[in-house]
Amino acid sequence: MAGLISGLTSGKLIDVAGKNIWLTEIGTGDPVLYLHGIPDIHGIEAEPMAFHQALARSCRLIAPAHPGCAETTDDETLETMDDVVFHYLRVLDALELDRCAIVGGGIGGWIAAEIAVRYPERVEKLALIGATGLMVPGHPIGDLFWYAQADDGVRYDGLRDLLFAGPRTETGLGMIPDAKDDIEREMLKYKVFRFVSLIGFKPPYLYNPRLRSRLDRYTNPALILSGESDSLVPRVHAEAYRDGFPDARLELIAACGNTLVAEAPEQIAELITAFLAG
């Protein structure tokens, strides 16, 4: 489908209960739902993200944008994670996905985990990439919102440092350039932040205090991926996910931060593909 706004070309719109959902759908095979994080809002380039392409070599990848993000209709009543979970139940129903694998990055990982503990029967396998969502006393998740306010009005060093392996990595500068690169990109970022602000600004801050004690409800296999230099979500959160799920393993990815899908797309796509096939 041709781009609705400039640059938005690698996605399409579907109707779910009267609302538009913007999604990228590529590949064939078993369905895999990908839930995005903050910088990896997809469908903004002419081609799907490298990570999506790599994963789609062996599955049918479906990557919707969250409410209010990209071209997905905003939900004026959205307040809590529960609302987001119900939103995705409708999306899964509309796509006729009774059961599928779910992969989530950052806050998308949090959403994926919330779906899995509530409706374990609908989740074949679960892969979490730098997922927020847990409260681990003494190890807070970094303040994304604070650093989304540019340094000296122009530089996003602080934000990139949280989301990537350092403040000025090539990948980070490419995805979150110093202000302002172009308005469409700024708008995409702004809309993701609006969504995240609704579910994760007011404490609990990017987490659900109850989630950790519910992880045992999801008993299918889980793969937890964490960047060794992740300064947004401390390592102990990935370990807590691993320890909380009955059947989970943790892989640490060297020289990467939180946004593994962009920092090591081939490497983690390979790990996830093997995990899904296993």
Partner 1 sequence: MHPVKLFCWHFMAYPYLPEDFDEKYDSGWVTVPNALWDREQAKGLYQEYIDQLVYADELGFDGMVLNEHHQNIYGLMPSPNMIAAALTQRTKNGKIVVLGNILPLHLNPLRIAEEYAMLDCMSGGRLIAGFAVGGGPEAFNYDVSSPRARRQFWEAIDLIARTWTEDGPFEHEGPEYPLRYVNAWPRPEQTPHPPIWVPGARSRETMENAAERGYAYFLSSRSHGDQTRQAAQAYAKTMAKYDRTYTPFDFGILLSVYVSETDEQAKIESQEGVWYFLRNCLKGHLRTKGRTLTWGPGIPSASPESWRGFLEQWQFGAKQLGDTEDWEELDERASIIVGSPETVRNKLLALVEKAQAGNLLIQFHFGNMSDELTRKSMRLFTEQVAPALRSESAEIFARDFPEMADKETV
Q: How far is the CB of 191 from partner 1 (least distance, A)?
A: 6
Cα–Cα distance between 254 and 56 in angstroms, integer?
Answer: 24
Q: How far is the CB of 6 from partner 1 (least distance, A)?
A: 13
Q: How far is the CB of 198 from partner 1 (least distance, A)?
A: 5
Nearer to partner 1, 103 or 148 (CB): 148
Nearer to partner 1, 179 or 274 (CB): 179
Give the binding site for partner 1 (CB under 8 A).
68, 74, 76-77, 79, 144-154, 178-180, 183, 186-187, 189-191, 193-194, 197-198, 201-203, 205
Q: How far is the CB of 248 from partner 1 (least distance, A)?
A: 31
Q: Determine how β-strand 100-105 pairs with β-strand 123-129.
A: parallel
Nearer to partner 1, 21 or 256 (CB): 21
Nearer to partner 1, 138 or 203 (CB): 203
Q: Are 45 and 265 in contact (CB under 8 A)?
A: no
Cα–Cα distance between 38 and 24 in angstroms, integer?
Answer: 16
Q: How far is the CB of 126 from partner 1 (least distance, A)?
A: 27
Cα–Cα separations (whole angstroms), residue 146 to 50, 151, 160, 162: 29, 10, 12, 11
Q: Determine how β-strand 222-227 pairs with β-strand 248-253.
A: parallel
Q: How far is the CB of 147 from partner 1 (least distance, A)?
A: 7
Cα–Cα distance between 244 and 79 in angstroms, integer?
Answer: 26
Nearer to partner 1, 46 or 187 (CB): 187
Q: Are 24 and 52 in contact (CB under 8 A)?
A: yes
Q: How far is the CB of 208 from partner 1 (least distance, A)?
A: 15
Alpha-carbon torsion (7, 13, 19, 21), positive or negative: negative
Q: How far is the CB of 157 from partner 1 (least distance, A)?
A: 11
Instruction: Write the DSSP string, 246-271.
Output: TTEEEEEETT--S-HHHHSHHHHHHH
Q: Which of 174, 145, 4, 26 is nearest to 72 (CA)?
A: 4
Nearer to partner 1, 76 or 96 (CB): 76
Side-chain-side CA neighbours of residue 222 (13 Å):
30
- The region, left, alpha or beta by phi > 0 then psi within -120 to 50, assigned to residue 133 is left
Nearer to partner 1, 38 or 222 (CB): 38
Nearer to partner 1, 22 or 147 (CB): 147
